[in-house]
Amino acid sequence: MFSTADLPEDQRVELWEGHNADALIGLRCRTLGAAALDATEINVQLGRVHLARVRGSSHVVERDAEMVRRRPAESVALFFNLAGEAFFYHDDGLRTVQPGQLLMCDADRPFMRGFSRGLEELVLKIPRDVFAEATGVDAVLRPLVVDFAAGSNSFAHTLARTVGGAARDEDPVPIQEETLLELVVALTGRNRDDLRAAHRAAAYSYIEQHLRDRRLSAPQVAAAVGISTRHLSRVLADVGTTLPQLVRGLRLERARKLLETPAVTSMTIAEVAYQCGFTSAAHFSSAFTARFGERAGEVRRRAVAARATALR
């Protein structure tokens, strides 16, 4: 995580600009009023796409033609506004983006953005060639604003929730690049004749974020995705799985990651099982061995040994 909190106040803007140019998108920044810039950013590189969570006090950013020339992003950017009204000025006009709305634009078409009351947002940056390959859209000529609050566009809502889960300070939720791209495809309105892949991606995302819920059920997942339980069964059958198999597999993968992490070796195997949604430690142990061909205790012992070595 990058933060301006401990930086000299007179250098914060310059260092913030430098960080963004290297880690996300090159921008010129200026504050509103006399207060020093207070900003943080979490960046996650996921295969070919990039995720970020940005928080900041009131300021304005600009990406003009000179900045585009010097620092081309060659990407499509999606900004998910979580808090604070934002304006977006572009050669196509002025847009106001409210909390619960996302804005999609080509990052190499000059723009200005302003946050008079500060901001908290998520960012999804997709290389232009990857975006075109996935969606069939060669160019985003005009900015697009879409509601992503619960009860609005289900694909936008799932996409925001997925990016937010992956780009957070603690306990980030692992997510597949393909899941994000399937949701972006559905969001752009392409391939509407077959939305099974997007529905499947939305289901995967919801399940990954609710693995601790031991009452997780097909009606619950289907309702979150906006489809019937029968259709949910069909979209999972397309890839040769069922909801119980999928949930069990994702829980076991999550448990293995926890067991392999030296920093959490203080958790017992039973606690790991509980954290991942298993109701029985014995059932977890047998399922783990069947899935990975080794016992959970063996994975934990390697992690303990790795931690001991690191502390020497």
Per DSSP (E only), the strands in 32-178 are 39-46, 49-56, 59-63, 75-83, 86-90, 93-97, 101-106, 111-115, 119-127, 144-147
Amino acid (one-letter) located at 216:
L
Distance CA 62, CA 115 (A): 12
Per DSSP (E only), the strands in 203-296 are none
Distance CA 295, CA 293 (A): 7
Neighbours of 4 (CB within 10 A): 21
Does residue 37 carry a pLDDT above 60? Answer: yes
- pLDDT (0 to 100) of residue 310: 67
Percentage, residues of the chain above pLDDT 70: 97
Of 36-45, 123-132, 185-194, least confident by mean pLDDT is 185-194
pLDDT tens-digit series, residues 46-79 = 989 999 999 999 999 999 999 999 999 999 999 9
Question: Taking all residues of the chain, what is their mean pLDDT, rounded to a whole number?
Answer: 90
> Does the pTM of the predicted model rise above 0.85?
no
Q: Which residue has the tokens 């990651």?
A: 257
Q: How confident is the model at residue 124 (pLDDT cuts 50, 70, 90)?
A: very high
Burial of 91: CB neighbours in 10 Å, binned 0-12, 13-18, 19+:
exposed
Strands laid side by side in the 144-147 sheet:
2-3, 39-46, 49-56, 119-127, 75-83, 101-106, 144-147
Q: How confident is the model at residue 262 (pLDDT cuts 50, 70, 90)?
A: confident
Nearest residue to 184 via CA among 156, 214, 150, 143 = 156
pLDDT tens-digit series, residues 150-203 = 777 878 988 998 899 889 888 787 788 888 888 898 888 765 556 787 788 788
- pLDDT (0 to 100) of residue 303: 82
Distance CA 219, CA 304 (A): 40
* Both structure tokens of 200: 């499947």
* Both structure tokens of 126: 């997709």
